[in-house]
Amino acid sequence: MADVSDDHGPASPAHSNTVGVGPHPQPWPTEPHFDPELLAGGDRRNVVDRYRYWTVEAIVDDLDLRRHGLHVAIENWEHDFNIGTVVRNANAFLAAAVHIIGPHRWDRRGAMSTHRYQHLHHHATISAFAAWAAEQSVPIVAIDNIEGSVPIERTSLPRECVLLFGQEGPGLSPEANAAASMTCAITQFGSTRSLNAGVASGIAMYEWARQHVPVA
């Protein structure tokens, strides 16, 4: 098997089932953003190469320099298992924060540890969330395929906004839909009535990024 190497580290197999990298070759870098435990033991986290061996705090600080004006929110009245996926998607699209409306408890396994790099805010009720959005002048864009919704792919989304998702099954509550300044639906072509919140959030965030984030 061929090896791949560069000027920044030892050769590694071109194809490997091992996630991440092993211990850093010595001498170790001394910059404060590096984690001595990761340098010694290896970094098996699901992070991009830029952040290998960095502390969690240093990664968050660096992401904060580049975060987008997009916020993401999801209702959580029934401990929705999709929340972890929504958080992971928010991290992938560099959202400013994720807002969880309802109980604090949610299953973090689906987030694959990305919640550690994401700012999370809890709001006890829709009215509390809506008050935060109004105070910050951030329009709420509901994602739901209800009567009166407009196709998201044909809608100009605000650069500064919060995409609001409902939970599996009931979707958004009537209070949530009433708090939104617009409601967008994802156009579908098959027999299923709806997408789960995890999938829908990825599509909606991608559409927002397509409209507002230049790709080099």
Task: For residue range 79-118, list pLDDT tens digits in order.
Answer: 667 899 999 999 999 999 999 999 878 888 889 999 999 9
Task: For residue range 115-156, list pLDDT tens digits in order.
Answer: 999 999 999 999 999 999 999 999 999 999 999 999 999 999
Q: What percent of the chain has pLDDT over 90?
A: 77
pLDDT at 9: 40
pLDDT at 17: 63
Using the predicted structure, report yes or no on whether residue 5 has a pLDDT greater than 60. no
The answer, as to whether pTM is greater than 0.85, is yes
Best CATH choice for the domain 68-212 from the list 3.40.50.300, 3.30.365.10, 3.40.47.10, 3.40.1280.10? 3.40.1280.10
- The residue among 193 and 16 whose pLDDT is bigger is 193
Using the predicted structure, report yes or no on whether residue 25 has a pLDDT greater than 90. yes
Using the predicted structure, report yes or no on whether residue 160 has a pLDDT greater than 90. yes
If pLDDT is split at 50, 70 and 90, which confidence band does 68 have?
very high
Using the predicted structure, report yes or no on whether residue 7 has a pLDDT greater than 80. no
Using the predicted structure, report yes or no on whether residue 189 has a pLDDT greater than 80. yes
What are the residue boundaries of the structural domains of the chain, listed by start?
20-66, 68-212
160-179: average pLDDT = 91
Q: Can you spell out the DSSP letters for the chain?
A: --EEEETTEEEEESS-SS-SB-PPPSSPP--TTB-HHHHHH-B-SS--GGGTTB-HHHHHHHHHTT--SEEEEEE-TT--TTHHHHHHHHHHTT-SEEEEES-S---GGGGTTGGGGS-EEEESSHHHHHHHHHHHT--EEEE---TT-EEGGGS---SSEEEEE-BTTTBS-HHHHHH-SEEEE----SS-S---HHHHHHHHHHHHHHHH----
**Average pLDDT score over the chain:** 90
